[in-house]
A and B are shown apart, each in its own frame.
Chain A
Amino acid sequence: MNAMLTNTIIDQTSTQAMELFKKEAVMSDAIIVNQAYKKFGKPANPLWERLAQVRNHKDSSNGHKPPEAHKPTVAVDSVSFRVKQGEIFGVLGPNGSGKSTLIRLIATLLLPDSGSIEVFGFDVVRQAMQVQRLINRVSVEASFFKKLSPMENLLYGARLYGLEGKQTRRQVVEILTRLGLEKRSIYSPMEEMSRGMQQKVAIARALLSRPRLLLLDEPTTGLDPRSKHEVQAVVRELNEQHGTTILLTTHDMVEADELCHRIAIVDSGKIVALDTPAALKTLISRNGHEPTLEDVFLELTGKKLVKEEDEG
């Protein structure tokens, strides 16, 4: 009897502990970006030419600014944010605002100049390998060996993550047919496929490694509406059924509104707003109609452009 009770208590305790653990896991952060800073570019012309330019500029000081063609570009400017485990976190911004750079920094493909980024508690610079085991990425350009088939490409990708061949072959067929690819396409060269199909294969590649964090860099750009919906459904399912944390960049405001739990709007490498889609919409007022996420985006990123033009 006592033993049964003890077992029950142990069961209850472990259940409670498990619940607590789960709760903590849900509450804890998947990504912590702390004052991340990244700039690119250095003067392309040699030092002596630059010195000559400065001298010439001094000699003919006619009020013009010195040439800025090679001025370093700040892609990510002291950005800080946290993404919770199990969250779909959107990053919106105009072209060149630093979204992809941010994703590359998290994906260990770039090193931050300063600041720090942690993924599930691992530092992306010092513990890159541990981070890489937990993440995968889908970029806007579906990058593959074009002559190889989806099966050959995915098998290659999966083996890099230590997956076994036989099981991977079965999973590739399962995932790709689910994403709407015909079976014969799985064994044909990628170059014969449309961009939409290639993008689906890119998503399948990321799914195969079962990442805890999926970095989606404009995954639906260039897809037809049906393919777009299929991809969005997969993203939602991954998040809801498997608890995958997703960081998504997109130019599709409706997509961001529907999928993301929270959204950061970035402009010129800085976060200009971060909140839930609903809360973001309260930031601006519209006479006559409820503001859309696109209105918010244009207001927060467009005003600045006008301001800069005015200043210029």
Chain B
Amino acid sequence: MSTLVHEFRATYAFMERNANLVKRYWSWELVWMVYSIANSLSVSFIGMGMEKISGVSAVDGRFLVLYLVIGTLVWRYLSSIFYWITDVIGMERWEGTIEYTLMAPIRRVTHMAGQTLWAVLYSMFFTAIILVVTVWMFDIDISNANLWGGTVMLLAGSLSFIGVGVMGSVLPLLFPERGSQMTHVIIAVLLLVSGVYYPVEVLPAFLQKLAVASPATYVLTGTRLALLDGTPTRELWPHIWPTLLMGLVAIPLGLWIFGLAERYAKRTGKLHRNG
């Protein structure tokens, strides 16, 4: 049997396992879906309420809603990818299967590819449902939006978030007890500096410097240009290439860091301990 077929089957193993886990934990997935929808709607309603809060009638409530809807959806998608990937070790520590998976004759890149493919597909599905509910709720007009451009931005952003996720997945490997919780720090900082619900220009200067290094900043700006202004896809390139570049650097770097962490865990006996 060729190595390629072996690696393909192993990649599929992670996708199929995750699909089975979602199926078995369907009630949890439903709860998380309702929570995510409620959360996204709550943020988006801020746009509707701005006119009343500020008392300024010049505020374009519809525009603001769409601005926030894009922020919340893009963020939901990117953070979902991040959490699925960082959970590659966390979920196995929880179940106690980590030693069996890491003992299997598969390359770590295959392992990550399986988890990543699943992460992207599931996050798309998850976000699409939130999108449908949000569009229905706010009666959003997207007739002028460049949907294709928005999708390209999201896909480019996926690449960089995969890299960040692979790096983040090292934490549960190194810290069996609290590693999974530590990954929240990464996502919290990215949320703060990337302009998810506000333009990065409102941030203090030192945080704006951090925003330059966040792939989400480019994804959000590009997606907003595509969906709010209908900017053509080719004009989104200044926002696409930085996130692609970050992905191209972050994925191999993440895999390398993961390799080092795995070696450290095997040297110190941290694989065995379940968090």
Q: Tell me the A125-164 residues at the B interface (CB within 8 Å).
A: 129, 132-133, 135-137, 139, 141, 143-148, 152, 155-157, 159-164
Q: A147-B21, A162-B5, A189-B24 are in contact. Are A107 and B103 (CB under 8 A)?
A: yes
A107 vs B6: C-alpha distance when bound (angstroms) = 20
* Interface status of A110 (Cβ within 8 A of chain B): yes
- State whether A104 touches B272 (Cβ < 8 A): yes
Are the CB atoms of B104 and A161 closer together than 8 Å? Answer: yes
> CB-CB < 8 A to A141: which residues of B?
96
Q: What 0/1 pattern do residues 49 to 93 of A give for CB contact below 8 A with B?
A: 000000000000000000000000000000000000000000000
A-chain residues with CB within 8 Å of residue B21 when the two chains form the complex: 145, 147-148
Q: What CA separation (Å) do A24 and B180 show in the bound complex?
A: 50
Contact among B25, B106, B263, B271 with A160 in the assembled complex (CB-CB below 8 Å): B106
Query: Are B266 and A145 neighbours in the complex by a CB distance under 8 Å?
Result: no
* Complexed CA–CA distance, A129 and B24 (Å): 32
Render A147-190 as a binary contact track against B, CB cut-off 8 A, 1 for contact.
Answer: 11000100111011111100000000000000000000000010
Query: In the complex the two chains form, is B95's CB within 8 Å of A157's CB?
Result: no
B97 at the interface (CB under 8 A from A): yes
Q: How far is the CB of A269 from chain B (nearest CB, A)?
A: 14
Q: Tell whether, in the assembled complex, residue B95 and residue A160 are in contact, meaning their CB atoms are under 8 Å apart.
A: no
CB of B121, distance to nearest CB on chain A (Å): 18
Would you give the shortest CB distance from A178 to chain B, in whole angstroms? 22
Q: Mark A85-127, 1 if CB is under 8 A from B, else 0.
A: 0000000000000000100100111110000000000000000
A40 at the binding interface (Cβ < 8 Å): yes
> Cβ of A163: which chain B residues have Cβ within 8 Å of it?
9
B contact residues around A156 at 8 Å (CB) = 13, 16-17, 20
Tell me if B205 is interfacial: C-beta within 8 Å of chain A: no
Across-interface contacts of A162 in B (CB, < 8 A): 1, 5-6, 9-10, 105
**Known contacts A139-B99, A159-B10, A162-B9; A40 and B269 CB within 8 A of each other:** yes
Contact indicator A145/B103 (Cβ below 8 Å): no
Contact between A160 and B104, CB atoms less than 8 A apart: yes
Interface positions, chain B 252-269, Cβ under 8 Å from A, are: 263, 266-269
Alpha-carbon distance between A147 and B95 when the two chains are bound, in angstroms:
9
Instruction: Point out the residue from B1, B5, B97, B268 that lies within 8 Å of A143, measured CB to CB.
Output: B97
A109-B99 contact, Cβ under 8 Å, with A104-B272, A148-B20, A162-B5: yes
Rounded to whole angstroms, the CA-CA distance of A303 and B266 in the bound complex is 33
Q: Which of B8-65 contact A (CB under 8 A)?
A: 9-10, 12-13, 16-17, 20-21, 24-25
B100 interfacial by beta-carbon distance below 8 Å: yes
Q: Which residues of B contact A159 (CB under 8 A)?
A: 9-10, 12-13, 16
Residue of A nearest to B5 (CB): A162
| CB <8 Å contact, B17 and A148 | yes
Q: Which of B9, B20, B103, B263 has the most CB of A within 10 A?
A: B103
Would you call the interface of chain B mostly helix, strand, loop, or mixed? Answer: helix
Question: Contact at A160–B272, with CB atoms within 8 Å?
Answer: no
B99 touches A132 (CB 8 A): no
Chain A residue, CB-CB nearest to B268? A40
A242→B123 CA distance, assembly (Å): 45
CB neighbours (8 Å) of B107 from chain A are 129
Interface presence of B135 (CB below 8 A): no
Q: Which of A109, A135, A139, A147 sits near B102, CB closer than 8 Å?
A: A109
In-complex Cβ contact of B105 among A101, A133, A148 (8 A): A133
Q: Taking CB as reference atom, which chain A residue is nearest B101?
A: A160
Partner of A145, one of B6, B97, B104: B97
Would you give the 0/1 interface string for B123-165, flagging 1 where the beta carbon is closer than 8 Å to chain A?
Answer: 0000000000000000000000000000000000000000000
Verify B104–A132 contact, CB threshold 8 A: yes
Question: Which of A133, A139, A144, A162 has the most chain B CB atoms closer than 10 A to its own CB?
Answer: A162
Instruction: With both chains docked as a complex, state the minimum distance between the C-beta of B126 and any C-beta of chain A, in angstroms.
Output: 19
B9 and A164: CB pair below 8 A?
yes
Instruction: Tell me which residues across on chain B come within 8 A of A205, comparing CB atoms.
Output: 100
A135, A139, A159 — most chain B CB neighbours (10 Å) = A159
The closest CB in chain A to the CB of B96 belongs to A143
Residue ID in chain A nearest B97 by CB atoms: A143
Task: Decide yes or no: A132 and B100 within 8 Å by CB, A109-B266, A145-B21 being known contacts.
Answer: no
CB neighbours of B272 from chain A (8 A): 104, 109
Instruction: Tell whether, in the assembled complex, residue B5 and residue A145 are in contact, meaning their CB atoms are under 8 Å apart.
Output: no
Q: Is A147 touching B105 in the complex (CB atoms < 8 A)? A: no
CA distance A205 to B101 in the complex (A): 12
Asked whether A144 and B267 contact (CB < 8 A) given A159-B13, A160-B101, A160-B104, the answer is no
In the assembled complex, 13 residue pairs joining A and B whose CB atoms fall closer than 8 Å, in A order, are: A110-B271, A111-B263, A111-B267, A132-B104, A137-B99, A139-B99, A143-B96, A143-B99, A143-B100, A145-B21, A155-B13, A155-B16, A157-B100
Q: Which residues of A contact B (CB under 8 A)?
A: 40, 101, 104, 107-111, 129, 132-133, 135-137, 139, 141, 143-148, 152, 155-157, 159-164, 189, 205
B interface with A by C-beta (< 8 Å):
1, 5-6, 9-10, 12-13, 16-17, 20-21, 24-25, 95-97, 99-107, 263, 266-269, 271-272
Q: Which 3 A-B pairs have the closest CB atoms?
A: A159-B13, A162-B6, A160-B104
17 more A-B contacts (CB under 8 A) besides A109-B99, A109-B102, A110-B267?
A: A104-B269, A109-B266, A111-B267, A137-B103, A143-B96, A143-B97, A147-B24, A148-B20, A148-B21, A148-B24, A156-B13, A156-B17, A160-B13, A162-B5, A162-B10, A189-B24, A205-B100
